[in-house]
Amino acid sequence: MIWPGLLKLGKELQLKRLDAEVVGMVKNCFVKIYGGQNMKVLELFVPEISDLDKEYIIKRLHEGGIKKQTWLEYGIKIIFYEYFLPYPLKKIKGIIFDICSYFLEKYPDQKIRCQKCGVPNDLEAYSYGSAAMAVCGECQKLSESEIEARNAENKFVPDNYAAGFIGSLLYSIPGIFATIFLFVFLNMLAAISSVLYVFLGIRGYKKFKGKISRFGAFLIILSTMLMVGFGIILAYSVLILKEMGTFDIDMLLYILRIPEVQQEMVKNIMVSYAISGIYLVFQLIQMMKEWRSDITVNKAREI
């Protein structure tokens, strides 16, 4: 998502937009701006860069109160931190305008280098999956066909969901031991171990080559929920057996059916879901990003 402020800035600089950034040429430099948590990030690519040019940039940034920058190959990355208020767009615009004017004046006939092949050329901004870059026409054609081939290959991956699900269940077994150990021997809230199930479940799913897809992510959630519940019931059983001092299964089943015991188990399971849920949602968002089976290519569009 792009903050409205960035869109406004992009429009003023006559840039274009991709899914997460505004991009485009300002004079003979390529500009990419995006937002992060409490920050705006500017990446500026120039045709040439000498030590003298770097000095100029540092001086200009100091004037704007910016003391830190990262040098890229033929470019610079500047982070504008925003702890309380958004960084004034006018200031960012001023910095971009001044630096780009300087480079146009100094290297009037030179072009930016393609970010794939490195040859100076006329460039267009594209996003490949989540990476936005300025590339030449040749590289664009090449990557598009590469990505098409990869996406086509993806379609032939077998739907080995069952194997992934089983892998996820099997790998979660140590989580059950952790629950029992914490609960029975350390008297700790077993819910803490539920995070372990998520972590292990994902590993198991991957190890058993479960298909990387959204449905796969759903299966991991399902297996985690099943195993967390199972782990807690088992932990209660071990505790009850330990307190009875005999291995009396009939008695155990009788106690497990007592409403008060069931209520407590359900309460514990819910707390565990709440705790692992936070971690699971976090993991899931990551997975959804990484596991999008098809990579899409987008050309920067008008704001």
* Contacting positions for Zn ion (CB under 5 A): 114, 116-117, 136, 139
Question: Which CB, 100 or 134, lies closer to Zn ion?
Answer: 134
216-219 CB contacts, 8 Å cutoff, 24+ apart: 216/161, 216/164, 216/291, 217/284, 217/287, 217/288, 217/291, 219/161, 219/164, 219/165, 219/168
Report the residue number, 22 or 114, with the smaller CB distance to Zn ion.
114
Q: How far is the CB of 210 from Zn ion (least distance, A)?
A: 37
The neighbour count for residue 185, using CB atoms within 10 Å, is 11
Kindly report each contact of residues 176-179 with a partner whose C-beta sits within 8 Å and lies 24 or more positions away, as own/partner: 176/227, 176/230, 176/231, 176/234, 176/235, 179/228, 179/231, 179/232, 179/234, 179/235
Tell me the closest approach of the beta carbon of residue 138 to Zn ion, in angstroms: 5
Nearer to Zn ion, 73 or 243 (CB): 73
CA dihedral (26, 28, 29, 34) positive or negative:
positive
Identify the residue whose tokens are 């198991």.
204
- Minimum distance between the CB of residue 104 and Zn ion, rounded to whole angstroms? 22
Least CB distance to Zn ion at residue 209 (A): 35
**Bridge partners, residue 303, by sequence:** none
Min CB(118)–Zn ion separation in Å: 7
C-alpha to C-alpha distances, 273 to 124, 211, 217, 226, nearest whole angstrom: 47, 25, 16, 10
Instruction: Work out how close the CB of 28 gets to Zn ion at its nearest, in angstroms, rounded to a whole number.
Output: 17
Give the number of other CB atoms < 10 A from CB of residue 123: 23
Q: Which is nearer to Zn ion, 136 or 198 (CB)?
A: 136
Q: With respect to Zn ion, which residue has the nearer C-beta, 139 or 287?
A: 139
Token pair listed for 61: 């940034």
Nearer to Zn ion, 116 or 211 (CB): 116
